[in-house]
Amino acid sequence: KSDKASEGELLSQVEPEDLIKFGLIPEFIGRLPVVATLNELSEEALIQILNAPKNALTKQSQPRFNRDGVDLRCSEE
């Protein structure tokens, strides 16, 4: 198995006690009712998330930038 796969398997088994041993304070961990691990997204998936939905972040940000005189453009590159 690749190192990334092994790392993902380990992270999926993290318990709150592990986070405390890692150095996070118990009061902070107590405020996290669920610990969930996610799979890594590809660059293509991230671009799709930013651009594809009707309420895409890039589309929401354009008017804000325009108010400040900034022309926000997102290319396929």
| Confidence at residue 25, expressed as pLDDT on a 0 to 100 scale | 96
Shared-domain flag, residues 7 and 20: yes
4-60 per-position pLDDT tens digit: 668 778 888 888 999 999 999 999 999 988 888 888 889 889 888 888 888 888 888
The whole domain housing 24 covers 1-40
6 in the same domain as 18: yes
Q: DSSP state, 52?
A: S
Whether 58 and 50 have beta carbons less than 8 Å apart is answered as: yes
In this structure, are residues 37 and 14 in contact, taking their beta carbons and an 8 Å threshold? Answer: yes
Q: Are residues 53 and 33 in the same domain?
A: no
- Shared domain for 35 and 49, answered yes or no, is no
pLDDT greater than 60 at residue 1:
no
The pLDDT score that the predictor gives to residue 2 is 66
Instruction: Provide the pLDDT for residue 4.
Output: 65
36 and 50 housed in the same domain? no
Residue 5: per-residue pLDDT: 63
**Tally of domains in the chain:** 2
Query: Of 51, 53, 59, 56, whose CA–CA distance to 77 is shortest?
Result: 51
Note whether 25 and 52 are same-domain residues.
no
What H or E segment, with its residue span, contains residue 26? Answer: helix 26-29
